Structure 1
């Protein structure tokens, strides 16, 4: 008889088997591991609570969670983490603030990479931390491609029971108004929204298809950050373009597409190709 650990390992390995994509239904996974659907469903719920898998709120299908990918990064970096690390280090060197890489996990912004600042007074999330999407720069930047209905669905629980700073949006209408402005200019700013004295700026990162996959942001004390929001946004746009270029390289080698550096300005949520 196999152990519980062996059953969990077989279930996690089933996510990568067959080349059927990243998302899997409970029935498909049950067939893959030869178990009852109810048993696999219970295992998936336990893994979801531990952050090892996550369920799409619309399709109800499962995919591997970023907690698992962060854990695996110590053995071998994913393409995103590998591409982002040097860019984050350059941001820290040029701004003096903490730089973070975040992805969407359910209805949360989830930090997967952090580069420290040498400043004695530092701020920002840590790897493995989940944050609300409505009142953080990383969270709102992750919502740039979401329509209003999806934004409301992802944030309604947090807006109903707000645990945030004094400047955070308190209603869906206020959130959408703020998000529409940030989407047009290409970066999000959250000042005094998570907590008093903290300001952060976030810029989205896209893959070669234009899909928003992550956000790079810097966080620091409002006393240092508030006078250089535009400068910070420019730095982050450069870093996001560097990450996107690094992510495109394997795709370009595979397709024969000529390599080219993506350029960005803080205005506009999508990267602009050089003419």
Structure 2
């Protein structure tokens, strides 16, 4: 299976994060762009671009043009992945595949982006594009809006104020904060997010939040499929999602 440019970029980004955090943890000298490029044998301009993106989503940080260190989002992500839900997520995803015949994913939020952390076996099959570490927008994916489930309008405005909606997402994607809010308001009474062709043409996604032991949203659980697979079946699929998310939330409480 050929590696996509997106997968290659993510792999290089994760190598950078790993090198930075390992050096910081060991107390060794922290590195800037040129040193990172030399250590990883990557082009310096590419490292500069990747580190800027990693700083933008909070996985790395630096003062002015100094060396890089782990950013606040790195610690939040590490803490969430150390929770009980993550250890149980793989089994829950395969249960959803077995019972529903759909692709299933677990994702977390990094600012206004969604980071895929686990995907079902049928979602990562040869020819597919899903892979752990894949980044998608928070406003035009089912998982993204599930991660925003508890947001108030003011918080949503602040989160998406610098986002460019133009040219992003599928044919039914929201193109403004107001449109995102309308979709969130529409979904709340039914208890789950329904995203129809918002990120990918022909793909429908249902999603629900996963909460930690304190009731805070820590992840999103979602399933994806063609319209024909979900037609007249959304209620049953959503109920299965809610049950899985409840079990994962229970695992989080047990771990806490």
Name the TM-score, length of structure 2 as normaliser: 0.69
- Correspondent of 1:62 among 49, 59, 71: 71
Secondary structure of 1:169's aligned partner: coil
Contact 1:97-1:116 at 8 Å conserved across structures: no
Distance across 1 between alignment mates of 2:19 and 2:230:
49
Provide closer, same or farther for how the CA distance between residues 102 and 176 of structure 1 changes in structure 2, counting only shifts above 3 A: same
Deviates further, 123-132 or 136-145: 123-132
Counterpart Cα distance in 2 of 1:221 and 1:125: 16
List aligned pairs for 1:7-156, cutoff 5 A. 9-11=22-24, 13=25, 49-50=53-54, 54=59, 62-63=71-72, 65=74, 79-117=84-122, 125-156=130-161
Point out where structure 2 has 5 or more consecutive residues left out of the alignment: 1-17, 37-47, 62-69
The alpha-carbon distance between structure 1 residues 210 and 78, as it changes in their structure 2 partners (threshold 3 A), is closer
Q: Which residue of 2 aligns with 1:203?
A: 208
Relative contact order, higher structure (CA 8 A, sep 6+): 2
Aligned length: 213
State the SS of the aligned residue for 1:194. Answer: coil
- TM score, norm. by length of structure 1: 0.65
Relative to total residues, which structure has the larger helix share, 1 or 2? 2
Partner deviation per Cα, 1:104-154 (whole Å, 9 max, x = no partner): 012111100001239x99978432111111110000010011221221233
- 1:124-273 paired onto structure 2 within 5 Å: 125-251=130-256
Q: Secondary structure at the match of 2:72?
A: strand
Structure 1 unaligned spans of 5+: 15-32, 252-275
In 2, Cα distance between equivalents of 1:128 and 1:201 = 20
